[in-house]
Structure 1
Amino acid sequence: MNTVLVVEDCLVDRKAIEFSLKQNGFEVLTAQNGEEAIQKLRNYQPDVIILDILLPGYSGFEICRQFKTDPKTKKIPIVFCSSKATELDKFWGLKQGADAYLTKPIVSQEIIPIINQVINRQTFAGEA
């Protein structure tokens, strides 16, 4: 079973994403901010991270850069999930190292194929 770490400060959004993922067979870990996400990564190795941008403390952009420069976490795919929906936001998110960018509100029909795609891409890259 693939594991997803959802880093989202909004309880409603976090629960909606968690529900959608669990309904599709994923194990889900959650964090409300970057510090909590870092703590989770000390104990778990998720297959993908769903990361909000507007978080208390560190922004999602800062967290993404930190994860992508750490040898222990740099290969974990990151999917931004944010209300920031301009093309510039998406460009900047991908420039930080994210593997995909989704805008809120999230719909199960959008998120599940993206999560599967980045996990499969990572699996394929790991076999090469």
Structure 2
Amino acid sequence: MGTVLIVEDSLTDMQILIGCLQKGGISVIIAQTGEEAIATISRQKPDVILLDVVLPGCSGFEVCRELKGNADTNNIPIVLCSTKGGEMDKFWGMKQGASAYLTKPIDQEELVRTIKQFIKSSDS
């Protein structure tokens, strides 16, 4: 069905996201920092990246900008997720190249629907 890289520093949120996506039939790989995410992507390209905004080290916005600026990774859809749900946060996230922006707490059905939609469009 496709593979998602979850980049999330909260172990509780990570477990919820993993369970939710695996229940939806989606394979999951994980990273807990932006730097770890970039290293992981260089070894194994996911179909979609689910990226927390607030991370130790570089932020999700910085990771998104870096991936979108790289020819090897700029076509991977990035779904930002954050407790920061203001219009300015969403605007800024989309400006960095994100394909979607979900606010926490994550609506699990919406998450699976969003991820599957991006996996389908990357298959075509």
Q: TM-score range by the shorter chain?
A: over 0.9
Post-superposition Cα deviations, 1:79-128, rounded to whole Å, max 9, x if no partner, equal 0011000011001101100000000011211101111122223333xxxx
Task: Kindly provide the amino acid, as one letter, of the partner of residue 59 in structure 2.
Answer: S
1:34-113 to structure 2, matched below 5 A, reads 34-113=34-113
Cross-structure match for 1:114: 114
Residue deviations 1:32-90 (CA, integer Å, cap 9, x gap): 00111011112111000000000000010000000001111110000001100001100
What's the secondary structure of 2:38's corresponding residue?
helix
Contiguous gaps of at least 5 residues in structure 1: none
Give the match for residue 9 of structure 1: 9
- Secondary structure class of the residue paired with 1:22: helix
In structure 2, list runs of 5 or more residues that go unmatched: none
Q: Which amino acid aligns with 1:104?
A: K
Query: Counterparts of 1:123 and 1:67 in 2: how far apart (Å)?
Result: 20
Q: Name the CA distance, whole Å, in 1 between partners of 2:87 and 2:35.
A: 28
> Normalising by the residue count of structure 2, what TM-score does the alignment of the two structures yield?
0.96
Aligned length: 124
Residue type of the alignment partner of 1:24: G
Aligned residue for 1:74, secondary structure, equals: coil
What letter is aligned with 2:45?
Answer: Q
Shift of 1:15: 0.9
TM-score between the two structures when normalised by the length of structure 1: 0.93
Cα distance in 2, alignment partners of residues 106 and 61 from structure 1: 18
Letter paired with 2:102: L
Specify the alignment match of 1:19 in structure 2. Answer: 19
> Which runs of 4 or more aligned residues in structure 1 lie more than 6 Å from their structure 2 counterparts after TM superposition?
none
Identity %: 52
